[in-house]
Chains A and B, each alone.
Chain A
Amino acid sequence: MNSLGVYQVIGTRAYRGHQPGDVFESVLDPNAEARAINRGSIRLLDRLEADLPEGKYRLPTGWPTTKERKG
């Protein structure tokens, strides 16, 4: 699955509408991302993974938890 990345344009050309030096977030095709990094168009600054740790949230009153739903 493709994941959200934070990239910086480091080449001399704009990349997908972002000017050289710009930092942008995008979900890129893994192959396209690898090629762009390999040819020096962009660099990966960070990989953002969606996360919802246990205990960091509360369900609305009356909503069953996953464990309760599955019995």
Chain B
Amino acid sequence: MAKHINNPVVTIDGDDFTNSFRSCTINAEFDQVDVTGFGSSFSEMIPGIGTATIELEAFQNFDTNGLDQNLWPIFINKTTVEVTVKAQPGTISSTNPEYSLPAAKLTTYGPVAGAVGEASTMTLTFTNAGQLGLVRSFT
């Protein structure tokens, strides 16, 4: 049983940028809607509208066709792209699912960060911008 994640596959707009990232966090949650009626002793909460994001910590790269050249147009043009994260390489299956935001926008992009002697890293946040939200595929 795998207890750690060390070789996920990350694609942005179809391109495999796995080697550019060192961490990945998928967040999905539903707002809580209070539907408590008179006479209740406890709050009655039901799930409301959902939000979903994929956060990636990346090593910046200004090379030709590098990360910056690909991400800047997506960010500044507010382009809707698909972002996928698979737990490990290989065929998608029930034990190797792929999570994706089929329609996502890059909402956080800090192209320059770092200090002397440090790797230039940045956090990217892709936020759901479509009807499907976060999708789990296993076939």
Assess whether A12 is interfacial by the CB under 8 Å rule.
yes
List residues of chain A with CB within 8 A of the CB of B17: 13
- 1/0 per residue, CB under 8 A from B, across A19-60: the answer is 000000000100010011001111000000000000000000
Q: Is the CB of A15 within 8 A of B65?
A: no
List residues of chain A with CB within 8 A of the CB of B87: none
Kindly identify which residue among A32, A39, A42 contacts B65, using a CB–CB cutoff of 8 Å. A39
Chain B residues in the interface with A (C-beta under 8 A) = 11, 13-17, 65, 69-70, 79, 81-82
Q: Is the CB of B13 within 8 A of A14?
A: no
Q: Is the CB of A15 within 8 A of B15?
A: yes
For the complex of A and B, list the 10 residue pairs with the smallest distance between their C-beta atoms, beginning with the closest.
Answer: A14-B16, A16-B14, A13-B16, A13-B15, A15-B14, A41-B15, A36-B14, A15-B15, A35-B13, A32-B13
List residues of chain A with CB within 8 A of the CB of B11: 14, 16-17
Chain A residues in the interface with B (C-beta under 8 A) = 11-17, 28, 32, 35-36, 39-42
Complex: A35 Cα to B79 Cα, angstroms: 10
Q: Return the chain B residue nearest A40 by Cβ.
A: B65
List residues of chain A with CB within 8 A of the CB of B81: 32, 35
Q: Return the chain B residue nearest A29 by Cβ.
A: B82
Q: Give the total number of A-B pairs whose CB atoms are below 8 A apart.
A: 35
Q: Report the minimal beta-carbon distance from A26 to chain B, rounded to whole angstroms.
A: 10
List residues of chain A with CB within 8 A of the CB of B13: 32, 35-36
Instruction: Specify the main secondary structure of chain B where it touches its partner.
Output: mixed
Complex: A46 Cα to B14 Cα, angstroms: 19
Q: Report the minimal beta-carbon distance from B13 to chain A, rounded to whole angstroms.
A: 6
List residues of chain B with CB within 8 A of the CB of A40: 65
Q: Report the minimal beta-carbon distance from B93 to chain A, rounded to whole angstroms.
A: 13
Complex: A31 Cα to B16 Cα, angstroms: 18
Complex: A42 Cα to B65 Cα, angstroms: 13
Q: Is the CB of B82 within 8 A of A36?
A: no
Complex: A39 Cα to B71 Cα, angstroms: 11
